Amino acid sequence: MDLPDLPEAEHQNIRFADGLVLDCGVTLPELTVAYRTYGTLDAARANAVLVCHALTGDQYPAETSPVTGKEGWWTQVVGPGRPVDTAKYFVICANVLGGCMGSTGPRSLRPDGTRWGTDFPPVTIRDMVRAQKRLVEHLGIERLFAVLGGSMGGMQVLEWAATYPDALFAAVPIATASHHSAQNIAFHEVGRQAIFADPEYHGGRYHEHATIPARGLAVARMAAHITYLSEAALARKFGRRLQNGGLSIFGDMFQVESYLRHQGSTFVRRFDANAYLTITRAMDYFDLAADHGDDLAAAFAGTRARFCVVSFSSDWLFPTRESRALVRALNRAAANVSFVEIPTDKGHDAFLLDEPDFHRTLAGFLAGCAERAGLAR
Amino acid sequence: MNEIGRPGPAHPEPVRFVAKNMRLDLRLIAEMIEPGSRVLDIGSGDGSLIETLSRTRGCDARGIEIDMAEVTRSVAHGLPVMHGDADHDLAEYPDGAFDVVVLSRTLQAVERPREVLRQMLRIGSRAILSFPNFGHWLVRWQLLSTGRMPMTSVWSRPWYETPNIHPCTIRDFMALCEQEGYAIEQWLAVDDAGQRSPWRRFPGLANLFGEQALFRLRKAGAPAGSPAPDGARQSNLR
């Protein structure tokens, strides 16, 4: 599979020449945060909402991606008249640290002009949040009205609430957990090993060989994609329907295979393998309780933020019981917490899909918070 | 949270709360709560009590509800409600997290009423409860005359499928309070026409004619007087 490198695109960004000190002890000599904003910041700078993207998301939730030409990943949630109403809120979304859409990551160039590649230091969810905090401060915002996100975005929301409790009014962790389970780590490891096993990976120096480990990355995406869907959703979409008739070993036999291969092959045209390794590691490493003496409630001690925890009934990657454990920890911290489980058969991906109950919940929660925060309607 | 007197869960749109339509016992409960209190409403249903308390009495009112459709509707209406139930979720809260903990028409449906009461008075300095009175004359008469489990407008489900597994009378409840060391700060019974009963000084009569009972409790050792929150706690409210 001979594929060119990712298309280069201009991403709006801010560069911090003083860099960033990472959890691993390494200091990034400079930090670039690629971001997009929607809506207008009000005079009191009180209506800012930070949207945190998931593992393979980007900073384009509400507009066409310049890289893929596809519609934004959260247009049903972010936009005028949407639950995160850009006519009302000033919405910020940044590419995560370690990503490949313009923020500093393994694809970025070092000050000496060479690519970071596998020399890029390991980052944590907290490092990602620290980078976002720099951006938010740069935009002149002391306190965000809300921080929200699903999956890895939800991990960032939790980290925001724990690390900068006074810098947010409301927190909406969606389809997420306070740590990655052994099962989640195991699935990620299958993906990483697939990338390592691809001869085009060249020990991470694939750029020097003008190639990319497309096969390995595609397999990683295929394995991960299965975890984003429920069995019911796969059965409904594909069942056991055959693609090309009879029994075969090498071609696509079932429609579900063809679907997964398509997912894999489109993914490699928009994502960098080393970024995938970096970000999956950050997710696996995330354990908010471990950072607070193994007491998750301690992470939220004294918090004044209003929380809305959302889970989806058929999500087996971040099941409702993880959300409930989070809610109980928030209760132990006497936090103001709303918690709903949205009934759906769409699995983990439901947070990205058309789920009217979820959207109503989100809109209502934010409206209630806006009323409490005294935001002008 | 229970079957008695709850509006059905089938409203297609969020129900805008209208004060005059609020259930009688909820209106009476709201009157018992000082403005500015931190309140937990267990079994918050459609959220009308917490909405009244937060919008008209400046309370930090939150809800726990077992019916997910009601939870979603409440949160979509901007109310802080979490999915959970009285038997399993109270133990998580720290001591004294609330000024008032409310349990309306649910005590008879929980698994362990005594433990729920203990938790309510651990996490809150006051507990307010309403429950249907199993000592009402019609209930007594039906059992006596037919020899079968009573079926009334309040106790409307047959014994084999009722969620109301722990019915009690007003006198039973008073006895439990005494046994557990709870001081009854205020109580009243409401008759079938929805009028406050005139039998305040005669629990025996209230137990016969009261269809619903309403109690406000505190731990016997706790200071009496107004359960209003102090200023320091107030500043923590958002």
pLDDT digits (tens, 9 = 90+) for B26-73: 888 999 999 999 999 999 999 999 999 999 999 999 999 999 999 999
Residues of A in contact with B238 (CB under 8 A): 169, 304, 306, 336, 372
HEC secondary structure over chain B: CCCCCCCCCCCCCCCCCCHHHCCHHHHHHHHHCCCCCEEEEECCCCCHHHHHHHHHCCCEEEEEECCHHHHHHHHHCCCCEEECCHHHHHHHCCCCCEEEEEEECCHHHCCCHHHHHHHHHHHEEEEEEEEEECCCHHHHHHHHHHCCCCCCCCCCCCCCCCCCCCCECHHHHHHHHHHHCEEEEEEEEECCCCCECCCCCCHHHHHHHCCEEEEEEEECCCCCCCCCCCHHHHCCCC
> Domain segments of chain A: what residues?
13-180+291-373, 184-281
Structure tokens at B3: 């079957």
**Per CATH, the architecture of A184-281 is what?**
Orthogonal Bundle (1.10)
CA distance B78 to chain A (A): 4
The pLDDT of residue B21: 60
pLDDT of chain A along its 377 residues, tens only? 455 566 677 899 999 999 999 999 999 999 999 999 999 999 999 999 999 999 999 999 999 999 999 999 999 999 999 999 999 999 999 999 999 999 999 999 998 999 999 999 999 999 999 999 999 999 999 999 999 999 999 999 999 999 999 999 999 999 999 999 999 999 999 999 999 999 999 999 999 999 999 999 999 999 999 999 999 999 999 998 887 767 777 766 889 999 999 999 999 999 999 999 999 999 999 999 999 999 999 999 999 999 999 999 999 999 999 999 999 999 999 999 999 999 999 999 999 999 999 999 999 999 999 999 998 65
Report how far residue A233's alpha carbon sits from residue A41's, in angstroms, rounded to the nearest whole number: 40
- What superfamily does domain B10-132 belong to in CATH? Vaccinia Virus protein VP39 (3.40.50.150)
Whether the CB-CB separation of A128 and A157 falls below 8 Å is answered with: no
**Ramachandran sector of residue B138 (left: φ over 0; alpha: ψ -120 to 50; beta: rest):** alpha
Whether the CB-CB separation of A131 and A20 falls below 8 Å is answered with: yes
Q: Indicate the class that CATH gives domain A13-180+291-373.
A: alpha beta
Average pLDDT of span B121-126 = 97
Band (B9; pLDDT cuts 50, 70, 90): very low
Cβ–Cβ below 8 Å for A369 and B78? yes
CB count within 10 Å of CB B88 equals 14
Chain segment B189-203, per-residue pLDDT in tens: 987 666 676 666 788
Chain segment B60-111, per-residue pLDDT in tens: 999 999 999 999 999 999 999 999 999 999 999 999 999 999 999 999 999 9
Q: B198 or B187: which carries more pLDDT confidence? A: B187
Report how far residue A124's alpha carbon sits from residue B139's, in angstroms, rounded to the nearest whole number: 64
Mode of pairing for the β-strands spanning A31-38 and A84-85: unpaired
Average pLDDT of span B116-135 = 96
Whether the CB-CB separation of A283 and A126 falls below 8 Å is answered with: no
Cβ–Cβ below 8 Å for A364 and B78? yes
The pLDDT of residue B223: 75
> Domain segments of chain B: what residues?
10-132, 133-216
Report how far residue A134's alpha carbon sits from residue A46's, in angstroms, rounded to the nearest whole number: 17
Q: CB pairs below 8 Å between A and B: how many?
A: 74
Cα B221-B224-B229 angle, rounded to 5 deg:
110
Judge whether A308 is closer than 8 Å to chain B, CB to CB: yes
Q: How far is CA A220 from CA A213, A224, A268, A273, in A?
A: 11, 6, 10, 10
**What residues in chain B have their Cβ under 8 A from chain A's Cβ atoms?**
14, 60, 62, 68, 71-72, 75-84, 89, 92-94, 97, 236, 238
Chain segment B154-164, per-residue pLDDT in tens: 899 999 999 99
Active site residues of A: 151, 315, 348
ipTM score assigned to the predicted complex: 0.89
CA distance A94 to chain B (A): 27
CA distance A81 to chain B (A): 15
Burial of A207 (0-12, 13-18, 19+ CB in 10 A): middle
- Chosen for mutation from B51, B70, B75 (greatest number of chain A CBs closer than 10 Å) is B75
